[in-house]
Structure 1
Amino acid sequence: MKLEWDHVVHYVNDPEQAAEQCRSAGLTVIAGGSHEKWGTWNRLLYADLTYMEFIGIENEAVVRESEERNLISLDSLKHLPGDEAMSRIALRTDDLDKAAKALQEKGLAADIRYGEHRTADGTLLKWRMLPIEGETAGVPYPFLMEWGDDEAARRQMLSQLGALTHESGPIQAAGAVWETPDPDAVTAEWSRLFGFQQDGTDLFLNGCRFSFQKGRRAGMKEVQLTAATGLAGSKLKIGSGRYVFLVEEHN
């Protein structure tokens, strides 16, 4: 079963304002759309197929009263308006049914949901997702995604939208940093559940490093991206989250 880093959930009060911050730095951000049945809306920043989702509340009543309970939209109520925080990551898989069965066998509450949002041009995009209840040492579990199209088709679609080209130059996802009172517990649990390679309190997935540092306030603090030009060596702060642009290494 294949796993890739799909995206980051970053709660903000105004996704378009977050998008403008990124655009001011030479980054392309596109309109994702509205999650009509969950009451949220977003803007998307792509680093190839890994993306940053700036997600906000569009209709609080829908978020609270939706017939289908959704962890991602409900968590917006925990954070907003006071804490514009990075939250979970999503992992992309090519076999969500197999992933769900494996996680359920490991004791997790994980049921497949069907997601959709309507883009700015009215197109309805659909996917399947696996929200996972619970957390370890204050850090919520990742959730899983399965897109209807294969990666080549999605990359072509995003290229046609201009989402993969940035004025500041190309970027790639490199890693993320969390704080937690017990980094050892989190890395051991995530390794057990998802099969990450582990080195101390660092986990690795297809060249990306997920680092867990000791701290009193648990949560995701930083996303690391490589940049060949332009933004290399710089940082961008949005809400309480940091985007750090590392210098791309050349062999």
Structure 2
Amino acid sequence: MSENLAWDHTMINVLDVDRQIRNFAELGIDFVRGGSHQVWGTENALGYFGLNYIELISVFDKHTAWSFPRKNASAVYDATHDYQEGIERINTIAIRTNDIEGTHLRLKKAGIPVGDVVDGKRIDEQGHEIRWSIFFVNDTINGLPYPFFLQWPGTDQQREEQLVKQGLIVEHPGGNLRVRRVIIEVPDVLAAAEVWSLITDQEVEHTAEDSAVIHLCDRELVFRTGPANHITALEFTGSSDELQGKSITIGQSSLKFL
């Protein structure tokens, strides 16, 4: 099977899921509660923009959330510890693959410290069990969080049809919104971009001395020089006239509507 990668979703660490749902609703952007991850003590809300979506993740069971190691759960571990420290920000992105074992083997051979491939699940608000396969990376890129990787059952077309049927992929009042690019601020643009190039199996495009771009399907991973060593922003296209030019700040990160 040939490996096919896409930007699946963006995880944002928040302190109060319902408050953020209301904040997005004021801009005409629909989020719904997604359910809980019992094994991690976390809960989430989801906002879909086609198959690409945003996951607002928070903690509902503090004891469970702070009792598991970072190994094999790095992004979720980071989310629970941001919650513990009162930090809200974009966490990292998830990359969807149609061959999770193949992706895992390729990255392992390339020296990326991948964790185990495991089956994940959560219970949604209607009591349905949602399943997927997933693996995390057990390190950082000189402090910058790695993305994680997952595979959903079925094809992208089947998944999109199901999400539309469930009323999760919707036309937002704020427009035909699509996540266009992520801004990743790092001290060393070239070093970070080269690792992400290896991860995504895509070439780095150098646009300037202090920035670089990697295209992942029709979206952009933009690396810019700065001290944050973290994702700092998401940029959307398709905004309505009313939403265009606005932004929403979540702690240390921003979402901008172009």
TM-score with structure 1 length normalisation? 0.93
**Cα deviation code 1:153-208 (max 9, x no counterpart):** 22122212332221122111201001111111000111123212311221111121
Deviations 1:21-77 (A, max 9, x none): 111111111111100111100001111111111000111211223489522221123
- C-alpha distance in 1 between matches for 2:245 and 2:98: 34
Mapping for residues 2-17 of structure 1, pairs under 5 Å? 2-17=4-19
Q: SS of the residue aligned with 2:159?
A: helix
Q: Is the 8 A contact 2:239 2:257 kept in 1?
A: no
| Aligned-partner Cα distance in 2 for 1:106–1:206 | 22
Match of 2:73 in 1: 70
Report the count of equivalent residues: 246
Stretches of structure 2 lacking an aligned partner (at least 5 in a row): 207-211
The share of aligned pairs that are identical, in percent, is 25
Q: Which amino acid aligns with 1:244?
A: K
Cα 1:126–1:210, aligned 2, differ >3 Å: closer, same or farther? same
What is the 5 A alignment of 1:1-251?
1-66=3-68, 69-80=72-83, 81-110=85-114, 111-164=116-169, 165-200=171-206, 201-230=212-241, 231-246=243-258
5+ residue gaps, structure 1, are 247-251
State the SS of the aligned residue for 2:127.
coil
- The answer to whether the 8 Å contact 2:94/2:147 transfers is yes
Q: Secondary structure at the match of 2:173?
A: coil
Residue range with higher mean Cα deviation, 37-46 or 155-164: 155-164
- What one-letter code is carried by the residue in structure 1 that aligns with 2:4? K
**Is the deviation greater in 117-126 or in 220-229?**
220-229
Q: Work out the CA distance in 1 between the residues paired with 2:142 and 2:72.
A: 24
State the superposition RMSD in angstroms. Answer: 1.6
Is the 8 Å Cα contact of residues 15 and 56 (structure 1) preserved in structure 2?
yes
Structure 1 range deviating more: 135-144 or 114-123: 135-144
1:76 maps to a residue whose letter is A
- Residues 75 and 91, structure 2, Cα contact 8 Å, conserved in 1: no
CA distance in 2, matches of 1:192, 1:34: 32
Q: CA contact under 8 A between 1:202 and 1:209: conserved in structure 2? A: yes
Alpha-carbon separation, structure 2, partners of 1:65 and 1:83: 19
Shift of 1:240: 2.0
Deviations 1:4-29 (A, max 9, x none): 00011110011111111111111111
TM-score normalized by the length of structure 2: 0.90
Distance 1:131 1:203, change over 3 A: same
* Contact 1:235 1:242 survives alignment (8 Å): yes
